[in-house]
Chains A and B, each alone.
Chain A
Amino acid sequence: GAGVSQSPRYKVAKRGQDVALRCDPISGHVSLFWYQQALGQGPEFLTYFQNEAQLDKSGLPSDRFFAERPEGSVSTLKIQRTQQEDSAVYLCASRSPGFDNEQFFGPGTRLTVL
């Protein structure tokens, strides 16, 4: 079946603009994660959903970051009033039920804030 998809793949924003990044998880995956990957670094956890419930948002760097998954499938990560330090690749991952624990990653959205 199809993997995790993300859109757009690339986004350029002027400082102060709002952006919205979309993630379509693998069908049937109840768990969904967002990670931020700065240049030359490993991904860092932002937030986690189980179905539509956001169970952990401890990794969101500021209140300018907001994520939602209203129907328990597609998720959107929104960044308000973007800053240059928000430039990174934003990765979405979904996980199958059960004890497998493998997370499948999407291709990411590369955000550049000018």
Chain B
Amino acid sequence: GNSVTQMEGPVTLSEEAFLTINCTYTATGYPSLFWYVQYPGEGLQLLLKATKADDKGSNKGFEATYRKETTSFHLEKGSVQVSDSAVYFCARFSWSGGSNYKLTFGKGTLLTVNP
């Protein structure tokens, strides 16, 4: 079936540190891949997306590359800020026939950035 596995947190970093949050997906169909972010007290927001192999999604200094060979979509940021503290969710979307339009999410990774 369709599933997403992401690195369990919590992750605690100092400001300006490098961030990686790992995400892998099951290779069923040709999924679009997403990272969503949930800031404290707010709803889910799309952070970035990639729709095909080798695409790189980027936004607000975050990047993730769609790697078909490793079925991965790891989230990276070169220098985190306190304001990046949030829960990050990796998600997949498939268009492969049948019930294929829903998002499947990972369990989320809590990131805390300290000044």
Q: Which A residues lie at the B interface, using CB under 8 A?
A: 31, 33, 35, 40-45, 48, 56, 58-59, 91, 93, 101-108
Contacts and interface: CB of A to CB of B under 8 A. Distances in A.
A42 B107 contact: yes
Contact of B108 (A42, A56, A108): A42
10 smallest CB-CB distances across A and B, nearest first, come from A42-B105, A105-B44, A107-B43, A45-B102, A105-B43, A42-B107, A56-B99, A42-B108, A43-B105, A42-B89
Interface of B: 4, 32, 34, 36, 42-46, 49, 51, 89, 91, 93, 95, 99, 101-108
B105 A44 contact: yes
A2 B44 CA distance: 15
Contacts of A45: 102-104
Contact of A101 (B42, B44, B93, B105): B93
A71 B108 CA distance: 34
Contacts of A91: 43-44
A69 B93 CA distance: 23
A48 B99 CA distance: 10
Contact of A33 (B36, B89, B95, B102): B102
Nearest to B102: A45
A42 B49 contact: no
A48 B102 CA distance: 8
Q: Name the residue among B46, B93, B102, B104 with the largest chain A CB count within 10 angstroms.
A: B102
A1 B32 CA distance: 26
Nearest to B6: A42
A31 B44 contact: no
Contact of A41 (B44, B51, B93, B107): B107
A43 B99 contact: no
Contact of B103 (A40, A41, A103, A106): A103
